[in-house]
Amino acid sequence: IAAHLRHVHSPELQLYVIRILFIVPIFAASSWYSLKAANSPAQEYVYVNAFRDVYEAFVIHTFLAFLTACFGEEENLIRVLEGKAQQEHLFGLHLILRAPRMGRPYYLFCKYTVLQFVVVKTALTSLEVVLHATGNYNHGDFTPGTPFWFVTIGINLSQMVALYALLLFYHVLHEDLAPVRPLGKFMSVKLIVFFLFWQAVVLGAAANSGYFHGTPEWPMNAIV
């Protein structure tokens, strides 16, 4: 982050890069505070982690905005898409879904499909905070119909749809984006979001199932 601030040569692109890189100190700070405040009766770490989770969704949208900015303006990107062959859905989805027409419809499909993750993640994270504050959120309880089950399924489905939209975007434009080497960036963003989400789910489920237990010094909420 400091290097980008010292050496500004493409401010339009570097702004998005800095926003994405900020996920590292935010995750580090939230992890540190969760450990520091683990024994706090108020459990303020829940609110810190909620901000972290919402920022994670913001990063996904920022990454798409970064790729869009590589073309200068949205209209430039739309003209590039209009010159591409029609892209069908991947993974057999073309059998049941009609792909948007190349150009503006295709771009807007990818844009709003990614943006829905920001809305859904923010809404469900806010719901999680409220349920936790009222004592109605049992983290790791996968029993169908429980708040944890509902929030986990909702976030996971929304996340998968958003990452699929990013994949469609990259699949069509990977040659045009070659100068910024998007594959490594795409995989980094995808793996960070996917791994961190499922890490929390698996640890929560393991703790709820009794596979490991907390101690007075390290309560379960500090581990999970």
Sign of CA dihedral 167, 168, 171, 176: negative
What whole-number distance in Å separates Cα of residue 28 and Cα of residue 39? Answer: 19
- pLDDT attached to residue 212: 67
What ranges make up the beta strands (E) of the chain? none
- Band (39; pLDDT cuts 50, 70, 90): low
What whole-number distance in Å separates Cα of residue 59 and Cα of residue 115? Answer: 11
Asked if the model's pLDDT at residue 221 lies above 60, the reply is no
Own/partner contacts of 149-153, CB < 8 Å, gap of 24 or more, are 151/124, 151/127, 152/201
- Band (116; pLDDT cuts 50, 70, 90): very high
Asked if the model's pLDDT at residue 192 lies above 80, the reply is no
Whole-angstrom CA distances from 212 to 14, 152, 157, 219, 220 are: 43, 21, 28, 11, 9
Asked if the model's pLDDT at residue 108 lies above 80, the reply is yes
Whole-angstrom CA distances from 208 to 12, 40, 47, 221, 224 are: 46, 21, 21, 11, 10
Structure confidence by residue, pLDDT tens digits, 63-98: 889 989 989 889 999 999 999 999 888 888 888 888
In this structure, what DSSP letter does residue 171 have? Answer: H
Backbone angles phi, psi at 90, to 5 degrees: -95, 170
**Token pair of 60 as six digits:** 């996904």
**Mean pLDDT value across the chain:** 82
Own/partner contacts of 82-89, CB < 8 Å, gap of 24 or more, are 84/172, 84/173, 87/168, 87/171, 87/172, 89/168
- pLDDT attached to residue 110: 92
Contact call for residues 147 and 136 (beta carbons, < 8 A): yes
- What is the percent of the chain where pLDDT is above 70? 82
Contact call for residues 18 and 58 (beta carbons, < 8 A): no
Backbone angles phi, psi at 9, to 5 degrees: -125, -25
AA identity, residue 97: L
Q: Which of 135, 67, 151 is nearest to 107 (CA)?
A: 67
Mean pLDDT of 185-199: 71
Tokens 């890069």, residue located: 17
What whole-number distance in Å separates Cα of residue 107 and Cα of residue 123? Answer: 25
For the entire predicted model, the pTM comes to: 0.78
What whole-number distance in Å separates Cα of residue 186 and Cα of residue 69? Answer: 15
- pLDDT attached to residue 40: 65
